[in-house]
Amino acid sequence: MSYYFAIIGTQDNPLFEYEFGTSKQGGDGQPRFAEQARHLNQFVLHSSLDIVEEVQWTNGQLYLKVIDKFFTNYISCFMTAGNVKFLLLHQPTATAGGGGGGAAAASTRNSTSVGANPTSPQTEEAIKNFFNEVYENYVKAIMSPFYKVNMEIRSPVFRQRVTAAGRKYL
Amino acid sequence: MASSKASRLGEETRMDKVNAELVVLTYGTIVAQLCKDFDSDYVEVNKQLDKMGYNIGLRLIEDYLAKSNTVRRCSNFRETAEMIAKVGFKIFLNITPTITNWTSDGKQFSLVFDENPFADFVELPDDGRAQDELWYSNILCGVLRGALEMVQMQVEAHFISDVLRGNDTTEMRISLIRYIDDELPPEDD
Amino acid sequence: MVVYSFYIFDRHTECIYSKSWLPPAHDPTGAPNSVTAARPSSSDDAKLIFGTVFSLRNMVRKLGGDDDAFVSYRTAQYKLHFYETASNLRLVMLTDTATLSMRNVLHQIYINLWVEYVVKNPLSPVEHKGGAGVRNELFELGLDQFIRGLM
């Protein structure tokens, strides 16, 4: 499972991006995106902004769950009240996504693991927790008096905390 | 003995409360605006903060005297330090900095701030200079200087370390320069 | 009890506020009415009062130690009450001779009127040269009400 997380400002401008891999089921936390796919991730993520704008009015929640899918890339969204979007692209690793071919033991283990099934309630819950923790830290980061609206978030502390949240929930 | 009395006085003095985030944002905006106005000339920003603090101190001391109900003057500088840390900071910022590092002549001490309500959430600008030049909470130096001047003590105060800069502690050094004599009425001709 | 007048002196020894509750004709501190015209002006009064309390305060401190405070003195005509803050603000009140200690009253004036309406007024200057910033409506009104309430 590989993740690409980005925060998008109110002008659809990127404020923060971070790539990481799963830490569950013995994952090492390293992203496993194919080299060509890495720059593509940014496009995939940004192209789903249109859908965010459609979905955001459908319910009053900040967490909009999986809103878009591009081949094996799933996009989850969390939108702050200030119209800043947190987008998480999650891509199940190829072997886990194959499904039928794997050994029975492996598939049962994978089916309960976070991320093996990107739309399962467990995954939704894990991502929700991740977003909530990032949101909390995001609020603290933008409370810094030297931060201006829609400015890139360069705080190393914030990056550390996102890393920690990723390790904890995903 | 005097120390416990000061703590009690600080505890007993009830103050109106204000939302901590509001304080952080208000003070932060002032510092950020100064940095902008002076084109990130942090030496000048420190100076301006000190000056603003001084003007606050000149007034704040009256409120301190009225609120804390102190009847008599401190008999020495050590007692003054106790009152600053345990009454002054307690009633205005609800913190109690630690007094340490006295010089042997009893004229210089340090206040170590375990917490600093001004600096919550703050991260200094990463332009490579702010970390070395800006004393974010420098207004406090000015406040002490102004307040003590009104009660006949000329002091010098400056920060020597700040957790925002990556130091382990936030420490302010205060030195007594002299006691100011009473002013005499002008001679009539 | 009767309050005759009230003065505030700042740390630069200047009289920054004075107020009298007397009808102009009757003056307990001065000579009989016939010579009222010859009396020194009120600014001279303030100077005289300051000179007196300042000397008395210093004398008291010399005799009784630095912690001793001069509180009041009484003449045949009036009683003078004195209160000094740690920031060297001096409040002086003149009353009739029968009045008890007004120290608490002066303290209240400092806390509730001076600090609240003068010091905390962000538009008033820090130094009140020539009484600038002291004569604001809230302070004047508050003081007048407070004193009249006592009488």
CATH number of A25's domain: 3.30.450.70
Interface test with C, best of B56, B62, B150, B182 (most C CBs within 10 A): B62
Chains that touch B (3 or more CB pairs under 8 A): A, C
Interface test with A, best of B123, B126, B139, B164 (most A CBs within 10 A): B123
Residues of A in Cβ contact (< 8 Å) with B118: none
Residues of A in Cβ contact (< 8 Å) with B28: 143-146
User: Which band of pLDDT confidence, cut at 50, 70 and 90, is reported for residue A99?
Assistant: very low
Task: Answer whether C35 touches B (CB < 8 Å).
Answer: no
Short-list A6, A15, A150, CA closest to A82: A150
Instruction: List, for residues C48-60, the tens digit of each pLDDT value.
Output: 899 999 999 999 9
Interface test with C, best of B59, B67, B69 (most C CBs within 10 A): B59
Over its length of 151 residues, how does chain C's per-residue pLDDT go in tens digits? 889 999 999 888 888 998 888 766 555 555 444 444 445 567 788 888 999 999 999 999 899 887 778 899 999 999 999 999 888 899 999 999 998 989 899 999 999 999 999 998 888 888 888 878 888 889 999 999 999 998 8
Q: What is the ipTM score, two decimals?
A: 0.80
**Does the pLDDT value for residue A107 go beyond 80?**
no
Sign of CA dihedral B91, B93, B94, B100: negative
For range A7-18, the mean pLDDT: 91
Q: Domain range holding A156?
A: 2-169
Q: Where are the alpha helices (DSSP H) in A91-155?
A: 94-98, 104-112, 121-143
Chains that touch A (3 or more CB pairs under 8 A): B
Sign of CA dihedral C28, C31, C32, C38: negative
User: Which band of pLDDT confidence, cut at 50, 70 and 90, is reported for residue A2?
Assistant: confident
Residue A60 — φ and ψ, nearest 5°? -85, 5
Instruction: List, for residues B36-86, the tens digit of each pLDDT value.
Output: 999 989 999 999 999 999 999 999 999 999 888 776 788 889 999 999 999
Give the residue carrying structure tokens 């070395």.
Answer: B132
Task: Report d(CA A118, CA A125) in Å as an integer.
Answer: 11
Do A and B share at least 3 CB pairs under 8 Å?
Answer: yes
Domain count, chain A: 1
CA distances to A53, A143, B89, B182, C95 from C76, in Å: 88, 67, 48, 31, 12
For range A139-152, the mean pLDDT: 88
What is the count of residue pairs from B and C with beta carbons less than 8 Å apart? 49
Question: What torsion, rounded to 10 degrees, do the Cα atoms C30, C32, C34, C36 define?
Answer: 10
Give the residue carrying structure tokens 């200094």.
Answer: B124
Nearest to B24 among A143, A146, A157 (CB): A143
Task: Answer whether B124 touches A (CB < 8 Å).
Answer: yes
pTM metric for this prediction: 0.82
User: Which band of pLDDT confidence, cut at 50, 70 and 90, is reported for residue A41?
Assistant: confident
Task: Report d(CA B174, CA B158) in Å as an integer.
Answer: 7
Task: Report d(CA A87, CA A52) in Å as an integer.
Answer: 10
Task: Report d(CA B133, CA B137) in Å as an integer.
Answer: 12
Specify the pLDDT at position A118.
72
Between positions 117 and 156 of A, the ones with CB within 8 A of B are 140-141, 143-147, 154-155
Would you state the structure tokens that stand for residue A62, as one six-digit string?
């900040």
User: Which band of pLDDT confidence, cut at 50, 70 and 90, is reported for residue A132?
Assistant: very high
Over its length of 189 residues, how does chain B's per-residue pLDDT go in tens digits? 567 777 887 777 777 788 888 999 999 999 999 999 999 899 999 999 999 999 999 999 999 998 887 767 888 899 999 999 999 999 899 999 999 999 999 999 999 999 999 988 888 888 888 889 999 999 999 999 999 999 999 999 999 999 999 899 999 999 999 998 888 877 765
Do B and C share at least 3 CB pairs under 8 Å?
Answer: yes
